[in-house]
Amino acid sequence: MAVAIAIASGKGGTGKTTIAANLAVALAKFGKKVAVLDADIAMANLELIMGLEGKPVTLNDVLAGKASIKEAIYKGPEGVLVIPAGVSLEKFRRANPEKLEEVLKEIHDLVDILIIDCPAGIGKETLIAISSADGLILVVNPEISSISDALKVIAIAKRLGTEIIGAIVNRVSNESTELSVKAIQTILEIPVLGVVPEDPHVRKAAAFGTPLVVMYPDSPAAQAIMEIAAKLIGAK
């Protein structure tokens, strides 16, 4: 039985997909069997970061009842199983998000850890992902709009009874205008699992379609993500 972890934020562009993809690969590097699923079925871009774009069968086909989940699983870097959502707008229109819960259950037997990359906002896919997950990790940026959106997601997770594992503070550059990690922890009232710096290697790796922790393992952001993965495994 896998432990399913939803990665959400409320606000868009905080780095959910970057963290989900790289955390999955980092956990695999530590010997875990890992799957990562793109629940952002409208703006799918997990497949781009994992170097698996343009696959014929995707999650949207499964949600449309046109394929089985096994057909939409692809082997990515470090043996991570990737379930891409697919970028076809036509397929997205036919997808039924209600089926997501069933699909998530089917993946449980295949791996130790299932990472779910959520869309921004608190739409249907996010709610289903959070309610079916065992734990939630929030990806926030050190700014007030990101923190206030995260608070809404935390409130929802509490109502749904999902454990809140903690927050990852991403894109930290230590500018004076940024909220401090201490302030973030005080406002959110949840543990901060790690701090990932603003790092140009993130964009470079994405452009090559290779996860950061594979392409630039010594970069500051990759090291931070590896540390978070180690901490997560240690805590289990």
Task: Check if the beta carbon of residue 146 is closer than 8 Å to that of residue 156.
Answer: no
Q: With CB cut-offs between 5 and 8 Å by kind, which of ligand ADP, Mg ion, none does residue 29 bind?
A: none
Asked if 202 touches ligand ADP (CB under 6 A), the answer is yes
- The H-or-E segment that residue 102 falls in is helix 100-107
Question: Could you tell me where the beta strands, DSSP code E, fall in 51-202?
Answer: 74-75, 81-83, 113-117, 135-140, 163-172, 192-197
Strand partners, 82: 36, 74
- When asked if residue 16 is in the footprint of ligand ADP (CB under 6 A), the reply is yes
Among ligand ADP, Mg ion, none, what does residue 146 contact (CB within 5–8 Å per kind)? none
Instruction: Say whether residue 58 binds Mg ion (CB under 5 A).
Output: no
Stretch in the footprint of ligand ADP (CB under 6 A) among 142-150, 154-162, 183-191, 193-201: 193-201
Pick the closer one to ligand ADP by CB: 1 or 177.
Answer: 177
- Interface region with ligand ADP, contact rule CB under 6 A, candidates 5-13, 53-61, 148-156, 158-166: 5-13
Structure tokens at 37: 């699923």
Based on the shown chain and the rule CB under 6 A, indicate whether residue 170 belongs to the binding site for ligand ADP: yes
CB-count exposure of residue 137 (10 Å: 0-12, 13-18, 19+): buried
Which does residue 76 bind out of Mg ion, ligand ADP, none, counting CB within 5 to 8 angstroms by kind? none
State the distance between the two ends of the chain, measured CA to CA, in whole angstroms. Answer: 14
Q: Does 171 bind Mg ion (CB under 5 A)?
A: no
Q: Which does 61 bind (CB under 5 to 8 A by kind): Mg ion, ligand ADP, none?
A: none
Cα distance between residue 35 and residue 29, in whole Å: 13
Single residue of 27, 147, 179, 196 touching ligand ADP by CB under 6 A: 196
- 39 counts as binding ligand ADP under rule CB under 6 A: no
18 interacts with ligand ADP by CB under 6 A: yes
Instruction: Find the binder of ligand ADP among 44, 221, 222, 228 (CB under 6 A).
Output: 221
CA distance 182 to 218: 26
Query: Which segment (12-20, 100-108, 121-129, 147-155) binds ligand ADP by CB under 6 A?
Result: 12-20
Please state the separation of Cα 51 from the chain's center in Å: 16
| Token output for 71 | 């057909």
Q: What is the DSSP letter of 117?
A: E
